[in-house]
């Protein structure tokens, strides 16, 4: 038997769908919206409904966009000859905000994980292959995360690029700016040492 009215139970369950939100956090959010911010709750509901109705994935790069025009798939970006493959939308935004890269992207929306049933088809690799075959890509930049699945995905992507005689590069992984070697984990140190460059 639930401690809450049915609609409140459904609201808490809905809020728990958000990443990092457990039962107590969902309960606090629900209580806050109902007790102190009903106008905010209505605004949230309307904004979410509007976003679901008008935001889709770009058919070329798979990033979220509104309408047919994707800001990341312009001809100017294609002229760079660079295509950067990332795992998710947050990775794309991080690169846009933190780097000078202004080429095109391809968003996998995940990484290869056979245990979880995520293979090439789930990552849209047929779409990626079609772009690589269009002839404008000169460099394929692999920017997957340095996890076991991310490394396996990077290897798979590199093979796709090499099969088409493209330049394939991988973003460097290593010691963070301002970091101290004694506090860096062994895996990061190993990547940093093997990926060293001339000075």
pTM confidence score: 0.84
Same domain, 45 and 118: no
Number of residues written out for the chain: 199
Q: Are strands 167-170 and 104-107 parallel, antiparallel or unpaired?
A: unpaired
What CATH number is given to the structural domain containing 31? 1.10.8.420
Same domain, 97 and 148: yes
Helix (H, G, I), strand (E, B) or coil at 92: helix
- Kindly state whether residue 89 falls inside one of the protein's structural domains: yes
Domain range for 92? 71-170
Q: What is the DSSP letter of 84?
A: E
Same domain, 39 and 14: yes
- pLDDT higher than threshold 80 for residue 58: yes
- Kindly state whether residue 145 falls inside one of the protein's structural domains: yes
Same domain, 24 and 76: no
Same domain, 155 and 110: yes
Same domain, 163 and 104: yes
Query: Please, which contacts does 125-134 make with residues 24 or more away whose CB atoms are closer than 8 Å?
Result: 125/156, 125/160, 127/59, 127/60, 127/62, 128/85, 128/157, 128/160, 129/160, 131/60, 131/83, 131/106, 132/83, 132/160, 132/161, 132/164, 132/166, 133/164
Tens-place pLDDT, residues 77-135: 999 999 999 999 999 999 999 889 999 999 999 999 988 889 999 999 999 999 999 99
- Kindly state whether residue 178 falls inside one of the protein's structural domains: no
- Kindly state whether residue 52 falls inside one of the protein's structural domains: yes
Tens-place pLDDT, residues 167-186: 999 988 877 778 777 787 78
| Count of structural domains within the chain | 2
- pLDDT higher than threshold 90 for residue 154: yes
- Kindly state whether residue 27 falls inside one of the protein's structural domains: yes
């Amino acid at each position: 038997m639930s401690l809450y009215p049915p609609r409140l139970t459904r609201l808490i369950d809905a809020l728990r769908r958000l990443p990092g939100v457990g039962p107590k956090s969902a309960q606090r959010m629900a209580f806050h919206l109902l007790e102190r911010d009903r106008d905010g709750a209505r605004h949230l509901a309307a904004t979410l409904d509007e976003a679901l109705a008008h935001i889709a994935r770009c058919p070329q790069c798979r990033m979220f966009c509104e309408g047919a025009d994707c800001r990341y798939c312009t001809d100017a970006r294609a002229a760079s000859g660079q295509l950067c493959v990332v795992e998710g939308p947050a990775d794309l935004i991080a690169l846009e905000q933190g780097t000078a890269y202004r080429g095109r992207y391809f968003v996998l929306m995940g990484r290869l994980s056979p245990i979880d049933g995520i293979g090439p088809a789930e990552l849209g690799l047929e779409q990626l292959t079609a772009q690589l075959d269009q002839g404008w890509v000169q460099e394929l930049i692999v920017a997957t995360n340095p996890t076991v699945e991310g490394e396996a995905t990077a290897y798979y992507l590199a093979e796709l690029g090499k099969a088409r005689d493209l330049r394939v590069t991988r973003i460097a992984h290593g010691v963070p700016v301002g970091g101290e070697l004694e506090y860096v984990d062994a895996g990061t140190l190993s990547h940093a040492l093997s990926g060293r460059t001339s000075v």
